[in-house]
Structure 1
């Protein structure tokens, strides 16, 4: 069998082997994203954090609701006077009621701040979701391109091995030199080292994939139709990002929370009115049972702060500074999102150019390798020329693999920069993780009197 026939056979064997290992069922990008969405611990933690933030609403609302308590106390008294022993018992029961009826709208400001915090935590879920899904894409393409590189470098190693055997055969018949053999041996060693490096890198990538997705990578298929979500122009992509990106929505929620906190700090200068009441019974006597009577009280209190050691003024100044900071942070968020969109957009354009150039280089490189081998066989070229031509072809093919992978990653990076790398936007077959319903239930719950479903 000719060298080219052996090379084709070895490539086919590698392809069949890879297919057998991966299994007949292709594992698409959408399937990997779906599995990762259900598996990701970071996403589950973000959901729990959002639910915990929602409880701040109930804590804030409790300040304007009544507090009711029950009490019971008893005593046993005894004494010895002039050799006379006396004893008695008393039992007191009661109910108490306290409620703030006006606090200059401090409570309303705290409630608004808590709601804004809950909204920010919900947007944090979306932000974490985008981070997780983008990491999955990067891990997916690392495995996909890694397997291609392993196959390519195995093919390259086989080529160098064949060239080494050819050099030795030519030396045996007096048509070659020991220099040709040494050069082929050196290239084979380099090819073997590159192959082993690709295998080791692939093992790491597969472990990373399993950490994110929860299952080992199978027969990956990098084709997808999510590029349809990308707009036709960069200005449109930036505009979409500025409207709905989770980071920008979080910044807006932070501004709301800071404004409400500032309002609450200002309200601390105002009056506060509370009402309170109690009712109780008392039984005394040498034995239980006799009731002395029932008593009750009701009252109100109005307080106005006059001097608090400067703490109220400091709270107002701090709240105002934090409000300004939240607005500055929002400006920074806008700038970072715009930068991310432009960077991802440029990444796609760059990858397209690299793919086009690499395709041309691969096509030309194949022709060059075939031509140089023929010229070497005719005695007009050397083995070194063949080895160099093969090295250039391999480099072009690796560039094509990397550029194709980079384009997929840049595509999903652009979706993330626009705020569209979410399970809902991608249409993944999952139950969307959200704390909205939990937050709505908490906003309407009377703490101990009603329960909140998960």
Structure 2
């Protein structure tokens, strides 16, 4: 399935105009939902070295200083103060496979997290596409309503003039006044909706919409719903993540079974005791050395015989979670299939609505011209003219809404199929984030004092963005 190409998303537009590709690129860099998902994936990457550490050698140094402030009577040898230093190293040899399987489970969840990050990208992009098209739709609707108010205002003045000469009745004037009042109310509602759409755009993109250009046609759309489902089952990131989590849960069961197996480790200890030459020794007793050093190496085997049922409970718990992961995979698959089939139906229905709305606009335009001409010779009433005008604006609003719905449904369909992520969009000026690079760094980290730079905010704050108004840039949709 072909992904979305930048050549399809990039439109020739005047300077300062915003394209859909540009909005998506800004969201990719500065959307906080996406940046937070990347940071969470970095945290998930660290589970491999965390689990692996239990299988690597460990070394520690302990020092204890004692000052004897109260010495009991009868002591022949008095040591006022001592310092004891112990160096110890432990080397695990065998742990029943617990660490090996824990590391495998951690790797599986890293892979699942990478798929979930893909899903987050497509989700954020779907919201950007919806917000972008919402602004375009609502700008068109505001323009239609403003034109309608202007037309009705002219109609009302004409009706009043005709009433003065006795050509129409007071009822005709009242009908014109009522329709103008309703049109003003509709305009206020449309302007409020436009402001809300602009604010949602700011929430997703981080900047106010400026002269948005119409979005380009979307490539890669399926020819049939069966094709869409087939691609989604193979490429959808949520399904892939569910499979990786299922795989990881299997390793959790193996790691839990290791709790009943023996373990073997080696150790070495070096002790040094120092009394700083301050030992008080009575006459006739041998002198106490000021320093003593000892060392030992050995093996330690542990064979669990009874642990109060703990390992059995842990195994059963891991198996239950594996069962849940198995069911979650089916849940996810069902959900994706429903989304694909519903999205395909919505996309197709919106395309049919577009055709119907375009035909309605053509017919209503012709009807309005005829009603106005017939009204001028007395064959039609004012209310019939008003109704014809309202039907025309209704069909225009329906067309703008259907175009928005069709585009958003098409993009959501592509997203559900797994082809609407950053790697598919090929956005200009964007360096793709590679989650595997951080995972490799985490797996290669063995030093206790390694770290990363302090987190820096990557997202754009919108608190300083001016509150939006109902201004419209560019012409409305036809």
Give the TM-score taking structure 2 as reference length. 0.85
Question: What residue in structure 2 maps to residue 368 of structure 1?
Answer: 367
In the TM superposition, what are the counterparts of 1:328-407 in structure 2 within 5 Å?
328-407=327-406
**1:280 and 2:271 are equivalent in the alignment:** yes
8 Å Cα contact 1:445-1:452 kept in structure 2? no
Whole-angstrom distance in 1 between the partners of 2:61 and 2:176: 93
Secondary structure of 1:27's match?
coil
Counterpart of 1:228 in structure 2 is: 219
Shift of 1:291: 5.3
Q: Which has the higher strand share?
A: 1
The answer for the alignment partner of 1:169 in structure 2 is: 161
Equivalent residue for 2:119, pick from 105, 120, 127: 127
Question: Offset at 1:242?
Answer: 1.0
Q: Is the 8 A contact 2:85 2:273 kept in 1?
A: yes
Q: Structure 1 residues 71, 24: CA separation in 2 closer, same or farther (over 3 Å shift)?
A: closer
Corresponding residue of 1:432: 432
Distance change in 2, residues 1:85/1:109 (3 Å): closer
Per the alignment, do residues 183 and 81 of structure 1 end up closer, same or farther by CA in structure 2, a change over 3 Å counting? closer
Q: What SS is found at the alignment partner of 1:111?
A: helix
Residue from 103, 110, 127 that aligns with 2:102: 110
Shift of 1:145: 0.5
CA positional deviation for 1:328: 1.2
The structure that is helix-richer by fraction is: 1
Q: For residues 50-449 of structure 1, what are the structure 2 equivalents within 5 Å?
A: 50-77=41-68, 88-225=80-217, 227-284=218-275, 286-287=277-278, 292-429=291-428, 430-448=430-448
Verify the 8 A CA contact 1:80 1:86 in the aligned structure 2. Answer: no
Judging changes above 3 Å, is the alpha-carbon distance between structure 1 residues 278 and 87 closer, same or farther for their aligned structure 2 residues? closer
Aligned mates of 1:85, 1:247 — CA distance in 2: 73
Pick one of 36, 41, 62 that aligns with 1:45.
Answer: 36
1:218 is paired with a residue whose SS is: coil
Distance 1:285-1:447 versus aligned 2 partners, 3 A rule: closer
Say if 2:156 and 2:177, in contact at 8 Å, map to a contact too.
Answer: yes
Determine if contact 2:256/2:315 at 8 Å carries over to the other structure: yes
- Write the distance in 1 (CA, Å) between the matches of 2:245 and 2:108: 7
**C-alpha distance in 2 between matches for 1:423 and 1:113:** 27
State how far apart, in whole Å, the 2-side matches of 1:287 and 1:308 are: 48
Distance 2:362 2:297 in 1: 94
Structure with higher RCO (Cα < 8 A, 6+ apart): 2
Distance 1:264 1:66 in 2: 20
Given that 1:122 and 1:434 are in contact with CA atoms closer than 8 Å, whether structure 2 keeps it comes out as no
Q: 1:80 to 1:99 in 2, by over 3 A?
A: closer
Indicate if the aligned counterparts of 1:88 and 1:285 stay in contact, CA closer than 8 A.
Answer: no
Contact 2:277/2:289 (CA < 8 Å) preserved in 1? no
- In the aligned structure 2, how far is the partner of 1:152 from the partner of 1:257? 56
Deviation at 1:228, TM superposition (A): 1.2
Shift in CA distance, 339/177, structure 1 to aligned 2, threshold 3 Å: same
Question: Against the structure 1 CA distance between its residues 87 and 351, is the aligned structure 2 distance closer, same or farther, given a 3 Å change threshold?
Answer: closer
Give the SS at the match of 1:220.
coil
Unaligned runs of 5+ in 1: 1-21
Mapped to 2, the partners of 1:145 and 1:251 lie a distance apart of 37
**C-alpha separation in 1, matches of 2:404 and 2:142:** 15
The whole-number CA distance in structure 2 between the counterparts of 1:387 and 1:152 is 15
- The superposition leaves residues 212-249 of structure 1 with CA deviations (integer Å, 9 ceiling, x where unpaired) of 11110111112224x21223332222222111211011
Provide closer, same or farther for how the CA distance between residues 38 and 28 of structure 1 changes in structure 2, counting only shifts above 3 A. same
The RMSD of aligned alpha carbons is 2.4
Looking at structure 1, the residues matched to 444 and 384 of structure 2 have their Cα atoms a distance apart, in angstroms, of 79
| Residue matched to 2:282 | none
